[in-house]
Chain A
Amino acid sequence: MVLLKLLWSFVKIGFTSFGGLSMIPLITSEVTQNGWMTVSEVSDIVAIAEMTPGPLGLNSATFAGIKAAGVAGAIAANLGVLMPTFTLCAVAAVFFEKFKQSSLMQKIMTGVRPACVGLIAGVIASLSLTNYVIDSAVNIPAIGIGILDLVLLLKWNVSIPKVIFLSAGLGIIFFGVLA
């Protein structure tokens, strides 16, 4: 029963949200009304989601699922969040592959591509505020790590996992050993 409830709650969350932080209000009301998480646990999960691999929606599904019904609950909740992908997106994929060469679709994508770049630039700007401004002060070591990573990625073509491991190491030095 709990598994079905979890699945249904996260199906609702999946279908009515469009990723990222826009999911939080709905996640909060679903998981607190069912008593799976408290409000302060929801804000913890936002912090954890930023620190660990995995998008926010999936991570909060795992967290709430485990609190409510262990690993089986986590799997049920994850399936719920992914339901739009396996239904709506699966249908959209068929149509997109079919019509992407059509002239109407080409015209639409001419505007959608730059819109997508604008959106990602917006994400970069807002992430910069949370990741480089720590305790309401601009954090010089964090910016230094960021610039180093950018050079490694763009100039020397270093792989993303290596950059992540290096940054974790530098984090331990600057924010652990030297702090």
Chain B
Amino acid sequence: MKKQREIASLFLQFLKFGCFTFGGGWSIVAQMQKLYVEEKKTITGQELIDLTSVGRSLPGTMIGNVAYLYGYHVAGVLGGIACVIGMVTPPLVILSIITYAYAAFRDNQWVMAAMTGVRAAVVPIIASAVAAMVKSAYKYPPCILVTVITFSLYLFLNVNSVWLVIVGMVLGLVISEYYERKDGGKNGAA
């Protein structure tokens, strides 16, 4: 019973997230950050970055993967499915309506004006989520270099995000090994 209620509330939470998914899924990560990390504290900021990284590096829709990973973490396979279905339903309904009324939608200057305003909100929404996540992302000082490298590769050379995650994996191993050996060496000497 408790589990069923949990799955139902996951579904409703993602149903709400799905209504405000502007900017290709990243605003769902921002909404998850606000609800789960800050308010309910069901996961830490670090865990949210982990889920996002894993979801981003798998094929398919990033946010579908992230929704599944969170639901699975909280309530197993059914929780994962509930989150994905909840998240997908609002865009499916809204876009179905828009598809039928597409011409009217595209030519309506008021709709266009409102949407230009909404687009201006996407960057601050994503930025606010990153700002909260940044705190838990850097274990050792050189990790900042990893961010600089992946940012540049993405923006200037258009490198696929899968490669960026792989770059992160390799550099993470190298940096962690270096610091563990350094610390290990110190302990041995003392």
Contacts and interface: CB of A to CB of B under 8 A. Distances in A.
Interface of A: 14-20, 22, 44, 48-59, 62-63, 66-67, 71, 74-75, 78, 81-86, 88-90, 92-94, 96-97, 100, 106-128, 130-132, 134, 141-143, 145-147, 149-150, 153-154, 159-161, 163-164, 166-172, 174-176, 179
Given A58-B88, A115-B165, A122 B118 contact: no
B171 A84 contact: no
Interface residues on B, range: 35 or more
B164 A118 contact: yes
B42 interface: no
A86 B69 CA distance: 10
Nearest to A95: B54
Contacts of A88: 58-60
Contacts of B81: 86
Contacts of B106: 44
Given A44-B106, A132-B120, A164-B121, 13 more contacts: A50-B119, A54-B21, A55-B63, A58-B61, A89-B65, A92-B54, A96-B54, A110-B172, A114-B143, A121-B130, A154-B131, A161-B16, A169-B114
A26 B150 CA distance: 25
B176 interface: yes
B134 to A, nearest CB: 6
B69 A89 contact: yes
Contacts of B58: 18, 84-85, 88-89, 92
Interface in B1-47: 16, 18-27, 30-31, 34, 46
Contacts of B69: 89, 92-93, 96
Contacts of A132: 120, 123
5 closest A-B pairs by beta carbon, nearest first, are: A171-B117, A111-B172, A54-B91, A115-B168, A84-B60
Contacts of B46: 113
B61 A55 contact: yes
B130 A117 contact: yes
Given A52-B98, A58-B92, A19 B60 contact: yes
Contacts of B169: 108, 111-112, 115
22 contacts: A15-B59, A22-B160, A51-B22, A66-B96, A97-B73, A107-B177, A111-B173, A112-B53, A113-B137, A115-B146, A119-B165, A120-B26, A131-B120, A143-B120, A146-B121, A163-B121, A164-B20, A167-B121, A168-B114, A168-B117, A171-B114, A172-B117
Nearest to B19: A53
B163 to A, nearest CB: 10
A155 B105 CA distance: 35
B55 interface: yes
